[in-house]
């Protein structure tokens, strides 16, 4: 699972208000190179919840992201860091934790399982 | 066919649900029929199913290729990931309820997760577009089908597009219907409820259901071919076995299908009965060859529990998949009930009803 997906994921347990973001408990992180595409990154900047990305990256061991996205989006050094955090860090094993309930959604072999139990729906 | 015992959770409103004897189930709960005849089946047949799912449906490909470069595309019910990455300029995120199918996707390096299309664990408006290809017909109540559409609209940005395709009740290949098991009427009533959209004379008078003789293809030849040769058939054409569609072979029509021991009627009689009931609820068989079943491992318990049966003549374990096929206009009616989306395209293609929705754009000042 990469942070581009994590930035979208929510806890859908019935009644939960604080469903996003999920806290990452990383057990195994792998880095995989991805081609740098500044246009795509700029497109993503509008969607990304920045703090969730920064916290998620930190949980995966990457601390280079600034606390705020700079005003000059076209700044290439920034985009390179953004690119690395968003697309090149892979959570292979770990959990995504609901901040309100503590419920852990497992991530195994890079795949999160977000299915709820019967009593959570 | 054995009667299917189903917890009655198909009623439309929450009040009705609370009045039921069984524990009240929300629309997001998975009904038993889907657990047994959708989830467990796909889990058991996943690799075999995936091996038959490679042809890209041109209409879906066209939709995906029309999207702006860099679009985030959400595929809810992505199956074996056939469409993920189809447009290389877009970023695809797929989800499916079947872990084995998702594993096939992730082995290909696709970005996927295990999730429920009726309850997407996504925050709103993240996607630029969403697709739901041959998914909604596996949902057994109208409310669940509507919820799934609402979810697709919710997760795309304002102005974003959603493509939905479902199997049509009006099949181009009439002979397929003779291989399907219509589900018995009392369960149809429970699931569908009064005021269903199927009470239209259109179905009864539909030329697709004419009474001319129905040629059938030779089943075992089709199966063999599917295993060894690439097929030009498309997944959009519903198959009764693992094979994809081929030109019809001339052969003596069979009056009994593989589930024939349960159904002594001729195929035409079955069809007529289905017509009478405006039948839209079916079990559609999937033939899993024995050698594939051994690999899967799930089949031993499926056979033991009666979920699947052996067909020694074909050398397959036969699973039933639950389908609610859609009648003409039904998908539109369902989608038009979603407040903040407009239907921008609708078409029938290869025995599927298809629709493109656009989510309301934000008001511009």
What's the CA gap between B265 and B267, in Å, rounded? 6
pLDDT band of residue B217 (cuts 50, 70, 90) is: very low
3-state DSSP assignment of residue B91:
strand
- Residue B307's pLDDT is what? 86
Out of 2.40.50.140, 2.30.110.10, 2.30.30.40, 2.20.25.10, the CATH code matching A3-112 is: 2.20.25.10
- Residue B231's pLDDT is what? 30
Decide if pLDDT at B223 tops 70: no
- Residue B299's pLDDT is what? 86
Who wins on pLDDT, B213 or B302? Answer: B302
Q: Is residue B18 part of a domain?
A: no
Per-residue confidence in pLDDT tens, chain A, 121 aa: 999 999 999 999 999 999 999 999 999 999 999 999 999 999 999 999 999 999 999 999 999 999 998 876 568 999 999 999 999 999 999 999 999 999 999 999 999 999 999 999 9
Q: Is residue B365 part of a domain?
A: no
- Residue B268's pLDDT is what? 54
Domain that holds residue B85: 25-359
Domain count, chain B: 1
The pTM of the full predicted model, rounded to 2 decimals, is 0.79
What's the CA gap between B302 and B213, in Å, rounded? 36
Q: Is residue B268 part of a domain?
A: yes
ipTM for the assembly? 0.97
Q: Is residue B57 part of a domain?
A: yes
Q: Cβ neighbours of residue B313 under 8 Å, at least 6 residues apart?
A: B258
Which among A47, A113, A121 is the nearest to B114, CB-wise?
Answer: A113
Residue among B172, B168, B176, B170 nearest B267 (CA): B176
Which of A6-10, B34-38, B43-47 holds the top average pLDDT? A6-10
- Residue B277's pLDDT is what? 59
Residue B209 exposed, middle or buried by CB count within 10 Å (0-12, 13-18, 19+): middle
Instruction: Find out whether B39 and B285 touch, Cβ atoms under 8 Å.
Output: no
Q: Is residue B128 part of a domain?
A: yes
- Residue B215's pLDDT is what? 29
Decide if pLDDT at B20 tops 90: no
Decide if pLDDT at B118 tops 90: yes
Contact A111 B29 (CB under 8 A): no
Identify the contact set of chain A against chain B, taking CB-CB distances under 8 A: 1-2, 4-5, 7-12, 14, 19-20, 37, 39-40, 43-44, 47, 109-116, 118, 121
Q: Domain ranges in chain A?
A: 3-112
> Average per-residue pLDDT in chain B?
76
Task: Compare all CA atoms of chain A with the CA of B27 and give the residue at the minimum distance.
Answer: A121
Contact B29 A20 (CB under 8 A): no
Indicate which CATH number applies to the domain containing B212.
3.40.50.150
Chain B nearest C-alpha distance from A115 (Å): 5
- Residue B271's pLDDT is what? 55
Contact B70 A43 (CB under 8 A): yes
Q: DSSP character for B70?
A: T
**What residues in A contact B102, CB-CB < 8 Å?**
111
**What residues in A contact B114, CB-CB < 8 Å?**
111-115
Contact B121 A111 (CB under 8 A): no
- Residue B183's pLDDT is what? 86
Q: Find the range with the poorest average confidence among B68-72, B106-110, B126-130, B236-240.
A: B236-240
Mean pLDDT of the B200-204 span: 39
Q: Is residue B206 part of a domain?
A: yes
Q: Find the range with the poorest average confidence among A5-19, B135-149, B265-279.
A: B265-279
Decide if pLDDT at B191 tops 50: no
Task: Compare all CA atoms of chain B with the CA of A12 and give the residue at the minimum distance.
Answer: B121
Mean pLDDT of the B324-346 span: 96
**What residues in A contact B123, CB-CB < 8 Å?**
8-10, 19-20
**What residues in A contact B119, CB-CB < 8 Å?**
12, 116, 121
């Amino acid at each position: 699972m990469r942070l581009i997906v994590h930035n979208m994921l929510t806890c859908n347990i019935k009644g939960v208000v604080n469903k996003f973001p999920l806290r990452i408990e990383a057990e195994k992180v792998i880095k995989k190179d991805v081609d740098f595409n500044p246009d795509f990154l700029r497109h993503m900047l509008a969607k990304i919840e920045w703090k969730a990305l920064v916290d998620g990256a930190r949980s995966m061991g990457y601390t280079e992201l600034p606390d705020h996205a700079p005003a000059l989006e076209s700044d290439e050094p920034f985009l390179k860091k953004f690119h690395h955090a968003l697309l090149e860090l892979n959570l292979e094993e770990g959990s995504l934790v609901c901040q309100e309930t503590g419920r852990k959604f497992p991530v195994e072999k890079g795949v999160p399982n977000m299915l709820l139990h019967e009593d959570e729906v | 066919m054995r009667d299917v015992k189903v917890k009655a959770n198909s009623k439309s409103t929450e009040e009705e649900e609370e009045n039921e004897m069984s524990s009240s189930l929300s629309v997001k709960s998975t009904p038993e029929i889907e657990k047994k005849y959708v989830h467990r089946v796909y889990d058991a047949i996943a690799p075999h199913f995936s091996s038959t799912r490679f042809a890209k449906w041109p209409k879906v490909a066209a939709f995906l290729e029309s999207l702006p470069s860099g679009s985030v595309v959400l595929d809810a019910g992505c199956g074996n990931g056939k469409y993920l990455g189809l447009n290389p300029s877009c970023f695809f995120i797929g989800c499916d309820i079947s872990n084995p199918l998702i594993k096939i996707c992730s082995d290909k390096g696709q970005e996927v997760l295990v999730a429920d299309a009726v309850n997407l664990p996504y925050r709103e408006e993240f996607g630029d577009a969403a697709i739901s290809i041959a998914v909604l017909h596996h949902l057994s109540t109208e409310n669940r089908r509507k919820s799934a559409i609402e979810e697709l609209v919710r997760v795309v940005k304002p102005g974003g597009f959603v493509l939905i395709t479902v199997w049509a009740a009006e099949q181009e290949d009439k002979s397929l219907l003779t291989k399907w098991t219509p589900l018995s009427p009392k369960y149809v009533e429970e699931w569908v409820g009064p005021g269903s959209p199927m009470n239209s004379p259109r179905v009864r008078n539909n030329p697709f259901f004419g009474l001319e003789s129905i040629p059938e293809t030779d089943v075992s030849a089709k199966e063999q071919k599917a295993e060894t040769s690439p097929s030009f058939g498309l997944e959009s054409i519903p198959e009764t076995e693992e094979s994809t569609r081929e030109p019809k072979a001339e052969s003596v029509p069979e009056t009994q299908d593989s589930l024939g021991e349960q159904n002594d009627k001729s195929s035409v009689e079955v069809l007529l009965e289905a017509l009478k009931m405006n039948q839209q609820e079916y079990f559609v068989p999937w033939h899993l060859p024995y050698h594939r079943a051994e690999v899967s491992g799930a089949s031993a318990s499926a056979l033991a529990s009666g979920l699947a049966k052996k067909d020694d003549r074909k050398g397959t374990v036969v699973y039933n998949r639950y389908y609610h096929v859609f009648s003409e206009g039904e998908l539109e009616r369902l989608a038009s009930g979603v407040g903040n989306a407009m239907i921008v395209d609708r078409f029938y293609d290869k025995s599927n009803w298809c629709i493109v929705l656009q989510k309301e754009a934000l008001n511009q000042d």
